[in-house]
Structure 1
């Protein structure tokens, strides 16, 4: 008898929960568990059909044989289409095999008609899913994340007027359609692009864009209207697209006027964090007749630069690096991963003379506090650059040196690097040089 009373009290507690609490509980559960809550009480029986967030992920297909996944997916869709009530604000979809892509068309169409605001579509490797045009009829879309899709914008697409975040991973889309898509998202703030096909040229017209991360092969880029863009990362080699050294970047290869160094940075007045790999740096260098000593407009907001695979023995690369540093009066942190292969070609005499001239000049890096130099080999150019930074950075706190380990003879080389750096004059009494062996 006591157990029966306790059970009733427990049931009453569940039934008496406020509607917003029930909704919060259901939206945090996988769809399978949300449906199962219908047995808890009569009040909960149909509440699952009103939840605003749906998650169709691996928890639904775990340990199921392949032939049963489609059956279960079909059953889920039938329940959604038959019993669904109210708008769906967010949906996360992850399926294990491209065999089930046909069922997605109906689900995408259903979501686009139910006021979807956030769509996260994670698909398996292999055959890319041809995204249905119904996606682009969702006027309230605020977040769109797509993986392994083929995108062809319908001619009827006008705009994603409320979109704030766009993330495309291993997606195939033409340059023209990509430009149209971004330009018609007038409020977008965060864009991340990993496009499967190489991009020759893309222009960004996004007045509210603040964060941009490009992991695609791109030859030329233009920022036409990006006054708020503060965080830029263009790192084609950071993702698995294969080596880009196969493309010979020279002045004839880069179309004139589409990748000008001055224009590139002149269109980024708010840039604060900058990450570039050596391929985009080469295109910026190739797009200009002569690298200036400083940029026409200083980068007043730039505080951190991260340069990946930079060749520190080449004259043009050194000029680019010095131009960038001298144009950034509020620079606080420099991180450089050195390109070891090209560094083997030896020091350029003009580069050494240029670094010496800067050392003898009145240049001051008054805000620089942290420096990381990775894969140092101990070349004359590298050592002169280190000497310059130590002598011209009065508030430097930490310099981390990570030598490139090349074999049994390396320890002796590392000791020589360490001994030489310890003899360099330091403008900051607080500067500590750490070696990461």
Structure 2
């Protein structure tokens, strides 16, 4: 027996999981021992951008394996992907623990409904990634009810679809990681989903194309009540702005005791809610270790400007003590009073801070870089080893 056929089954499975599904299928020609080993791999991925499409004169290995009629040869690239998914799922043996699917999809893709229904009946998927290219399609794909039957999910990533409220949804009890991007949904749907994920530790609410129908029925306090175990939180401020009332509360009803890594995108220090909300979060996160901010400059928007009474918000939260924070990073930084005041507060209230990295926005220049650097180097700090970097 050749060396490649003597490999332990665990190593063979690892190799097959690292290969695209088409390449994994081709391993059947290596030896009799490898033949059809790929149909038992627990990790499947069908990605349109990387899926190999052959012309009518040359059939792919999957098409050779399953046979190819004249109709099948004439399928579009998207059609061939659906066909490959169907055939692989029908032939697959054993559990499927990870499944990734990326394709152009609209509201007519019943094939995806069937695929998700099949996977939900097996109920073995732990990591599910669904990515639908929505930005140049007029209609987005609507997630079917079957998605909410994946009872074993630990990781869920959805991009480019419509997510409706499901009153019969009983929850993802094992879900620890959730990523939502480019979705159309409502406050009620989002709150219903988050409130039924009691084990959630990582949440990413990406703003790219995401729209949330704002009803005003939920507040910031309601939102964070749904995240009692959150450790890693990344979101766009414009999304959270939907939950902002006329005034930010002085404190949350529950401290975010487990939150270690916080990232906020498109945050505006000029916004009425921007700085107060940021300070509320870090004050409620006593175990925060890393803080990453990407700023948006709305200084030309008169409605977003803070009033003169709000310019001392930093001093109002001077009782903050960030005992575990060791890294602060701010992208697209502009030399504003509130922004600098916030960095100075972090320096003065973070005893184990090791790194402060500030990347100036595209309008910055060398003089501004030197000015900010001088101000921060002269600012009081409680950490003896903090490294301050200001650059473009």
Per the normalisation by structure 1, the TM-score is 0.69
Greater relative CO (CA pairs within 8 A, separation 6+):
2
Sort the Cα spacing of 1:268 and 1:404 in 2 relative to 1 into closer, same or farther, 3 A.
Answer: same
Please state whether the residue corresponding to 1:297 is helix, strand or coil.
coil
Sort the Cα spacing of 1:402 and 1:76 in 2 relative to 1 into closer, same or farther, 3 A.
Answer: same
The one of 95, 103, 119 equivalent to 2:83 is 103
The one of 387, 403, 425 equivalent to 2:380 is 425
Q: Structure 1 residue 357: deviation in Å? A: 3.3
Q: How does 1:16-415 map to 2 (within 5 A)?
A: 17=6, 20=9, 24=13, 27=16, 30-31=23-24, 33-38=26-31, 44=32, 47-48=35-36, 51-53=39-41, 64-65=54-55, 67-68=56-57, 73-78=62-67, 97-100=77-80, 103-104=83-84, 106-107=86-87, 110-111=90-91, 114-118=93-97, 120-125=99-104, 129-130=109-110, 131=112, 132=114, 133-148=117-132, 150=141, 153=144, 159-170=149-160, 172-176=161-165, 183=170, 185-194=172-181, 196=183, 198-201=184-187, 203=189, 223-237=194-208, 241=209, 254-258=214-218, 260-285=219-244, 288-342=245-299, 348-359=307-318, 362-406=319-363, 410-415=365-370
Q: Structure 1 residue 63: deviation in Å? A: 7.9
Number of matched pairs:
366
Q: Which has the larger radius of gyration?
A: 1
Contact 1:355 1:388 in 2 (8 A): yes
1:24-60 CA-partner distances (Å, limit 9, x unpaired): 598477345323234xxxxx279437851388889x9
Q: Structure 1 residue 296: deviation in Å? A: 2.0
Contact 2:5 2:33 in 1 (8 A): no
Contact 2:46 2:102 in 1 (8 A): no
Contact 1:315 1:350 in 2 (8 A): no
Q: Which moved more, 1:95-104 or 1:412-421?
A: 95-104
Q: Structure 1 residue 121: deviation in Å? A: 5.0
Sort the Cα spacing of 1:61 and 1:188 in 2 relative to 1 into closer, same or farther, 3 A.
Answer: closer
Sort the Cα spacing of 1:302 and 1:75 in 2 relative to 1 into closer, same or farther, 3 A.
Answer: same
Q: Distance in 1 between matches of 2:11 and 2:376?
A: 64
Q: Distance in 2 between matches of 1:374 and 1:307?
A: 10
Please report the RMSD computed on the Cα atoms of aligned residues, expressed in angstroms.
4.0
Sort the Cα spacing of 1:397 and 1:221 in 2 relative to 1 into closer, same or farther, 3 A.
Answer: farther
5+ residue gaps, structure 2: 69-74, 134-140
Contact 1:26 1:34 in 2 (8 A): no
Sort the Cα spacing of 1:366 and 1:203 in 2 relative to 1 into closer, same or farther, 3 A.
Answer: same
